[in-house]
Structure 1
Amino acid sequence: MMAGMLLDTVVTASADLAATRSRKAKIAILAETLRAAPVSELASAVAFLTGAPTQGRIGTGWRTLVDLETPPADTPSLTLGEVDAALGAIAAAGGTGSVARRATALTELFGRATKDEQRFLVRLLTGELRQGALEGVMVDAIAAAAAVQADVVRRALMLSGSLAATASAAMSGGTDALTRFRIKLGRPVRPMLASPAESLAEAITELPSAIVEYKMDGARIQVHREGDEVHVYTRTLREITGQVGELVALVRAMPCESVVLDGETLALTDEGRPRPFQETMARFGSTRDEQVRALLLRPYFFDCLHLDGVDLLDAPLRERNEALRSVAGEHVIPGEIDPVDASALLDSALAAGHEGVMVKALDSVYAAGRRGRAWLKVKPVHTLDLVVLAAEWGHGRRTGYLSNLHLGARDPDGGPPIMVGKTFKGLTDELLTWQTERLQQIERERSDWVVHVRPELVVEIELDGAQTSTRYPGGAALRFARVVRYRPDKDPADADTIDAVRGLLRG
């Protein structure tokens, strides 16, 4: 029987990952570690290496962890299985005396950990190891470790929604096991994403046979129906079925027995124009605010991934669109196939208060993420989704508020976000108040003027472009950046990459 993998092996691998910028080297480090992991501990290895416990948040605060004064062990002895079991027990602790039980369990766990392992555990449990970009590198590492094609791993991940499950299938059964993943009603599929286009003319030239649709300023949703059972998920695959009863009723009334639809939803004014994005997102949370709960959401669907027992992921968009129109009726997003005048459609979208248009290749299959450029988004202004790294205390009327934001782009090779600029523009008094409170909740460290935070929050930034810069490590800096809004529907893994910023460089 294979012995458990030592936590020290993962800690060493994590340090090696942090020490290199080379994507090839990162893949090699991860693949070697995955090959060495016992099947029973593979899920823990994948989770820890991508920066999160298998349980997600375990209910232990940052202050509790940093205040632990437990002498470290001299030599490594903890296995991944033992760590995972201990974290599971801590996460499950509840009721009277749970705080004391968690503290005791943490003390016991940390008492068996070496100094380096203790540091790793603190960073793991506070989210400081979590780097969404590393997931893409992990996919390639799973492929390398199991000697399978990376595209097969990506497709399995899209359908399983779990890196651990995907890795287990790859390592135990190779390509055959990975290709057995199918759409399972009630299990969300990772969404396909769009890449930016400089202009509508560029998008039409690149995708000459395409559908052009409104790009709405709403929240991404995915709905699943099997019989009368309906589930609604957000862009990050969080279930919100209980908060959106009107969407559930609408999908339940569609002329089908089973369906999976991809789309947007938003709250509208009495005149039919989109309400602010924050008002739509407020409906997704648990709230007692009667005004928020009274806002009705209107869905606009743009893709059909499954209909009445038939999976459509591998069918071209042209066929998926026919299925969509047969089932969603008036709730299909406005758009035209190969429009005679695409600019008129863009003008009508903007006039209705929306962001722009999407141009989608009619022969494209549905593939999670931004693989290729089958979907292009066209907007009249440049915007980027960036990660908040820090904020500076304000001056004058902003004294006492965290104001000037430090912004980072995602490193596609799995490193930490790369700083590309700062901005204090576009922040309302309400947003300043929220931002000051929220950023201090995810604080890592501070100096006299700057509060550095864990890279958890994504903010949408409008800008005039980018310019070359020796000030920032990515060699590019934002021009005239301003805050549009925070994006609670997105994780750091959804942020734009440093390559997207460099793509805006003049000349």
Structure 2
Amino acid sequence: MLFAEIVATSAAVGSTRSRKAKIESLATLLRALAPEEIEPAVAWLAGEPRQRRIGTGWRTLTDLRVDPADAPSLTVMAVDEMIEELAGLSGAGSVLRRRELVGELFAAATAEEQSFVIRLLTGELRQGALVGIMTDAVATAAGLPIAPVRRAFMLSGALPTTAVAALRGGLDELSKFELEVGRPVQPMLASPAEGLADALAELGADISVEYKMDGARIQVHRNGDEVRIFTRTLREITPSVPELVSLVQALPCESVVLDGETLALADSGRPRPFQETMSRFGADTGELLLHPYFFDCLYLDGVDLLDEPLSARLDALERAAPDHRIPSVQRPTDEAATDYLVAALRDGHEGVMVKSLAAPYAAGRRGRTWQKVKQVHTIDLIVLGAEWGYGRRTGLLSNLHLGARDPDGGPPIMVGKTFKGLTDKLLAWQTEEFPKHESSRDAQTVYLRPEIVVEIELDGVQVSRRYPGGVALRFARVLRYRPDKDARDADTIDTVRGLLPG
């Protein structure tokens, strides 16, 4: 198959809001793929190369000036082979060879293909084929029920691998996927609750209320003395966390799969900033010790617990790691649950998780049986610019550059970007209004005079070297614009820094 067909399908998926239309477009393409093309194509359409990290950054790609080809000629396998070679380059001469290889790829690519490759390799491919939609498309293309495809994906941890099994072997091949100690499974996800009262009303009395820690999600696998530890994205970090390995090796069991959080603590016992925990994942050693807090047990000494209710999994967790459980209370009264939320916030954590004790482990899905109740902040920031959108947002000003007011009277200080929370109405308004406040522009961004104030909801801030203010917003979302305010009314950089943990 020509690579251009992948690009065209990506564009078609990005141009529609209909979930059904997205699935049908993807399924039509999947049915036409040769067996060896399934894995790379599924990975690309889900937003990343199957090789994950390839060592080629944004600057290398965007600085390259190569005239596009007039007509498509690249095949799916030719592109995959080039990306495979890029991912394997290292050592002396690798920088030059990487540039040569990217140049060869771009010279053979049309303008549309070049754009797709840049966005694919820089993580900016937002064509709407999210993992959930792609999973449904695989089931549709294979003519299978969605449940066994989702379960196989959960157990394989890799959607391209699942797609190959579904499209080539059907139910028989999918049934071969089982929970295997040492192979990570997709983590179960939580949905945000409007508030604690809403979560309690929806889930009833048969619940567990747990601390929602601002740590890094980990999945721990142990088989005898062998321990492997994975992040939320299923990246292995075992060599970077020797203290966790030693701790897991000492647990009173022979084999186990645990789900939890890990974080660095200050001497006071309060959590250190999130990025300090994350810094440990990129180094072999570190002065900060990580502490694990487990909240689920998926497997214990030969018994697969995925389909068991949370109550049974917590019993197994108590047997496997009694001294390392996340703080929790089972079947609390509404008053006790409220007290637990207050205690979690007082101790420096994000809030609480409210979980149904009757629910199985629905890996890879964001369901309502786990709900997170967090403290939310809102601040007023200045719009410094906006980037032109991709996919369905092509032709619209989308991703906002956000700045806080300098209390000393200097220009606004950039603290982050976001495109979250922007409705079609807001996108249309921005695209019409922002050029009226334009100070300059380049190919990607329209920069504005500091005149427009927007109200932003966020989960918090963290220390960052990326922005001049030394902080960055976490999970920022647009609530509304504030025409009643001008830049003098925006929050200051001191207010933003005041949201740092501790």
In structure 1, distance between residues paired with 2:301 and 2:69: 58
Report the CA distance shift for 1:168/1:370 in structure 2 as closer, same or farther (over 3 A). closer
2:256, 2:300 within 8 Å by CA — same for their partners in 1? yes
1:28, 1:141 within 8 Å by CA — same for their partners in 2? yes
Report the CA distance shift for 1:400/1:308 in structure 2 as closer, same or farther (over 3 A). farther
Report the CA distance shift for 1:405/1:71 in structure 2 as closer, same or farther (over 3 A). closer
**Residue type of the partner of 1:202?**
D
1:404, 1:424 within 8 Å by CA — same for their partners in 2? no
User: Would you say 1:149 and 2:181 are equivalent positions?
Assistant: no
Instruction: Give the one of 212, 215, 226 matched to 1:218.
Output: 215
1:257, 1:308 within 8 Å by CA — same for their partners in 2? yes
| TM-score (ref. length: structure 2) | 0.78
Instruction: Give the one of 330, 345, 368 matched to 1:373.
Output: 368
Cα shift readout 1:119-156 (whole Å, capped 9, x = no counterpart): 32233233332568622211111111111222322222
What is aligned with 1:409? 420
Instruction: Give the one of 370, 379, 399 matched to 1:389.
Output: 399
Secondary structure of the 1:359 match is strand
Secondary structure of the 1:265 match is strand
1:426, 1:483 within 8 Å by CA — same for their partners in 2? no
In structure 2, distance between residues paired with 1:159 and 1:49: 21
In structure 1, distance between residues paired with 2:464 and 2:252: 47
Bigger mean CA deviation after superposition, 366-375 or 30-39: 366-375
In structure 2, distance between residues paired with 1:357 and 1:327: 23
In structure 2, distance between residues paired with 1:360 and 1:345: 14
In structure 2, distance between residues paired with 1:145 and 1:389: 34
Report the CA distance shift for 1:164/1:309 in structure 2 as closer, same or farther (over 3 A). same
What is aligned with 2:173? 177
In structure 2, distance between residues paired with 1:108 and 1:75: 15
Instruction: Give the one of 68, 71, 75 matched to 1:75.
Output: 71
What is aligned with 2:338? 343
2:208, 2:331 within 8 Å by CA — same for their partners in 1? yes
**Residue type of the partner of 2:352?**
V
Instruction: Give the one of 271, 274, 277 matched to 1:274.
Output: 271
User: Would you say 1:459 and 2:474 are equivalent positions?
Assistant: yes
In structure 2, distance between residues paired with 1:306 and 1:32: 38
1:160, 1:181 within 8 Å by CA — same for their partners in 2? yes
What is aligned with 2:252? 255
Instruction: Give the one of 133, 139, 161 matched to 1:165.
Output: 161
Report the CA distance shift for 1:195/1:287 in structure 2 as closer, same or farther (over 3 A). same
Instruction: Give the one of 73, 79, 88 matched to 2:84.
Output: 88
In structure 2, distance between residues paired with 1:115 and 1:163: 28
Q: How many residues align?
A: 445
Cα shift readout 1:215-235 (whole Å, capped 9, x = no counterpart): 222222111101101111222
2:344, 2:351 within 8 Å by CA — same for their partners in 1? yes
Q: How far apart are residue 348 of structure 1 and its match?
A: 3.0
User: Would you say 1:435 and 2:472 are equivalent positions?
Assistant: no
Q: How far apart are residue 434 of structure 1 and its match?
A: 2.9
In structure 2, distance between residues paired with 1:236 and 1:410: 24
In structure 1, distance between residues paired with 2:91 and 2:47: 28
What is aligned with 1:496? none
- Where structure 2 has 5 or more consecutive residues not aligned to the other structure, the ranges are 380-386, 388-397, 431-452, 484-490
**Residue type of the partner of 2:290?**
L
**Residue type of the partner of 1:313?**
L
What is aligned with 1:23? 19
In structure 1, distance between residues paired with 2:171 and 2:211: 38
Percent identity of the aligned residues?
52
1:460, 1:486 within 8 Å by CA — same for their partners in 2? no
Report the CA distance shift for 1:434/1:83 in structure 2 as closer, same or farther (over 3 A). closer
**Residue type of the partner of 1:79?**
T
2:265, 2:291 within 8 Å by CA — same for their partners in 1? yes
User: Would you say 1:307 and 2:322 are equivalent positions?
Assistant: no
Report the CA distance shift for 1:404/1:265 in structure 2 as closer, same or farther (over 3 A). closer
Secondary structure of the 1:283 match is helix
**Residue type of the partner of 1:348?**
A
**Residue type of the partner of 2:316?**
A
1:14, 1:49 within 8 Å by CA — same for their partners in 2? yes
Instruction: Give the one of 95, 100, 105 matched to 2:101.
Output: 105
| TM-score (ref. length: structure 1) | 0.77
Bigger mean CA deviation after superposition, 157-166 or 272-281: 272-281
**Residue type of the partner of 1:265?**
T
2:420, 2:477 within 8 Å by CA — same for their partners in 1? no
Secondary structure of the 1:54 match is coil
2:241, 2:280 within 8 Å by CA — same for their partners in 1? yes
User: Would you say 1:195 and 2:227 are equivalent positions?
Assistant: no
In structure 1, distance between residues paired with 2:368 and 2:133: 20
Report the CA distance shift for 1:31/1:278 in structure 2 as closer, same or farther (over 3 A). same
User: Would you say 1:326 and 2:319 are equivalent positions?
Assistant: yes
Report the CA distance shift for 1:345/1:168 in structure 2 as closer, same or farther (over 3 A). same
Q: How far apart are residue 191 of structure 1 and its match?
A: 1.1
Cα shift readout 1:243-266 (whole Å, capped 9, x = no counterpart): 222211111001111100011122
- Where structure 1 has 5 or more consecutive residues not aligned to the other structure, the ranges are 440-456, 471-478, 488-507
**Residue type of the partner of 2:41?**
A
What is aligned with 1:35? 31
2:457, 2:476 within 8 Å by CA — same for their partners in 1? no
2:459, 2:475 within 8 Å by CA — same for their partners in 1? no
